[in-house]
A and B are shown apart, each in its own frame.
Chain A
């Protein structure tokens, strides 16, 4: 977090700014509603919002299968959704 109470990170290479305390899910939603691709290729986005459904899985700083809704956004994070 910087002095302005905002957090700056990138989602699929695009810079995004969210309030301090916001989730990675919120940051992703500023860029795309497609978080992951399901087994048969359909796009998916968060369903439960509370860490239960695993539909919001993304890659954070190279780590796969991170639940975006459970992860606070941090300065400099690099978030990648499924292509």
Chain B
């Protein structure tokens, strides 16, 4: 089955929702697809037990003349077409212009015990929770880095978790400097104050990192290294995340040029958010982690440009610059402590899909050679977790992307028009 859209948008988070609204305002036939069962993305993920934020409800209600295609997983791409898998089968969606709004995922770093059930990402546990994960009465520790920890902790508390503490890796001096800068961003300051109020009584410790997790078959305790040495804390769940990395896999498959922010690739765009590939636009986190405000404004810019209205897109550029300045502030103040790169021991599993230890990767300098020799990155997640972690640890950059983007059914692959392309990047060049 083939459907044709003037503008097709991948990712129904804040950027994708804004892009859909902008593109549809010009009368274009717009399709908005997402792998999740409901629109909202991660930050506006639907909470089955609580009402969604007003901004999220408004953004979703504002969509007129937009076809929302949920549980659509992009598997491969062809010329101006995407091959998608749905619970019902497979489809080919063709487009005049494509807007990538694939967002970001958490940066999850290996440490001894991180494979124990009970250890999840910070945003990860928040996402599970919003979909009904039982947490009431459980002893939970939140750790990692960035303001996301506070948001995750607030959700945990609202659902009845017993929060034992929030452990931020950034030192107190830089976190305080960040807080002072918030004075220039009144809306952000108000948000931070409201979060802190909702977390009253919960210890917030800076310069602290979770060194290891312990338990038989599931998490029972963690070891935390803080300003006053190492201590042990018994807990049922650990929510630990070290910030975000852009989801660039589909952009990579399409051949979009990348640039790097530290160890992690992001999509290169021009001032109107056009990628290096004709008719492919990008908005939000995959152009560099920028947060909710940047995602919303960039989505609108990309949506207008994809529908052919460069003037409407250009008018929004000053707002984008403002939103991106806040992202720079975050990046400067929550840079990762080099101690985090040394948590994994030689015996720590790095590739969780194939059970590959850090020691097994000794001496490898590229992802493809490591994969061929050790199976690292060859499992179901296709290196999304270990690849980003190894890049962050300075071992080697992530390997290239090839179809299928996700494990897919044979019937889906049978619909693909062409042979998978083996790009130079995949060959390891």
Could you tell me which A residues sit within 8 Å of B by CB distance? 18-23, 25-27, 29-30, 33-35, 38-40, 42-55, 57, 65, 69-73
Cross-chain contact A51 with B379 (CB below 8 angstroms): no
Distance A40 CA – B36 CA, assembled complex (angstroms): 30
In the complex, per-residue mask of B377-421: 1 if CB is within 8 Å of any chain A CB, else 0: 001110011000000000000000000000100000000000000
Q: Chain A residues with Cβ under 8 A from B123's Cβ? A: 49-50
Interface residue from A21, A53, A57, A65 paired with B131 (Cβ < 8 Å): A21
Please indicate the chain A residues that have their CB under 8 angstroms from the CB of B117 in the complex.
Answer: 33-35, 43-45
Confirm or deny: B288 has a beta carbon within 8 angstroms of a beta carbon on chain A: no
- The answer to whether B115 touches A42, judged by C-beta atoms less than 8 angstroms apart, is yes
Contact bitstring B357-382, A, C-beta under 8 A = 1, else 0 = 00000000000000000000001110
Q: Is the CB of B381 within 8 A of A53?
A: yes
Determine whether the beta carbon of A26 is less than 8 Å from that of B134: yes
A53 pairs with B134, CB closer than 8 A: no
Query: Can you spell out 12 A-B residue pairs with CB atoms less than 8 angstroms apart?
Result: A25-B133, A26-B128, A26-B131, A29-B133, A29-B134, A39-B355, A48-B121, A48-B127, A50-B123, A52-B384, A65-B380, A65-B407
Q: With CB as the reference atom, state the residue of chain A lying closest to B381.
A: A54
Number of A-B contacts (CB under 8 A): 118
- Whether B108 and A48, one on each chain, are in contact in the complex, defined by CB atoms closer than 8 angstroms, is yes
A70 to B124, CA, bound (A): 12
B residues less than 8 Å from A42 (CB atoms): 115, 355
Residues on A with C-beta less than 8 A from B125 are: 49
- Please list the residues of chain B having a beta carbon within 8 angstroms of any beta carbon in chain A: 35-38, 42, 46, 48-49, 71, 105-106, 108, 115, 117-121, 123-128, 131-134, 217-218, 352-355, 379-381, 384-385, 407
Is there an interface contact between A48 and B106, defined as CB atoms closer than 8 Å?
yes
A18 close to B380 (CB less than 8 A): no
Q: Which residue of A lies closest to B128 (CB)?
A: A49
On whether the beta carbons of A43 and B131 are closer than 8 Å, the reply is no
Chain A interface, DSSP helix/strand/loop, else mixed: loop
Would you call A49 and B134 a contact (CB within 8 A)?
Answer: no
The CA of A52 and the CA of B124, in the complex, are separated in Å by 10
| Residues of B with C-beta under 8 A to A20 | 48
Compute how far the CA of A69 lies from the CA of B120 in the bound complex, rounded to whole angstroms.
12
Residue of A nearest to B126 (CB): A49
Contacts of B36 in A (CB 8 A): 50-51, 70
- A44 CA / B199 CA spacing, docked (Å): 30
Q: How far is the CA of A22 from the CA of B381 in the complex (A)?
A: 23
Residues from chain A with Cβ under 8 Å of B108 in the complex: 47-48, 53
Closest to A51 in B: B35
Chain B positions within 8 Å of A29 at CB level? 128, 133-134
Inter-chain contact A47/B105, CB cutoff 8 Å: no
Contact between B48 and A19 (Cβ–Cβ < 8 Å)? yes
**In the assembled complex, how far is the CB of residue A50 from the closest CB belonging to chain B, in whole angstroms?**
5
CA distance A29 to B131 in the complex (A): 11
- Within the complex, the shortest CB–CB distance from B32 to chain A, in Å, comes to 17
Residues in chain B near residue A45, CB distance under 8 A: 117-118, 120, 218
Question: Given A25-B133, A45-B117, A47-B121, A19–B49 Cβ distance below 8 Å?
Answer: yes
* Residue from B37, B132, B380 in contact with A70 in the complex, judged by beta carbons closer than 8 Å: B37
Q: In the bound complex, how far is the Cα of B120 from the Cα of A30, in angstroms?
A: 16
Residues of B within 8 A of A50 (CB): 36, 42, 105, 123-124, 127
The answer, among B121, B354, B385, for a CB contact under 8 Å with A49, is: B121
Residue of chain A at shortest CB distance from B41: A50
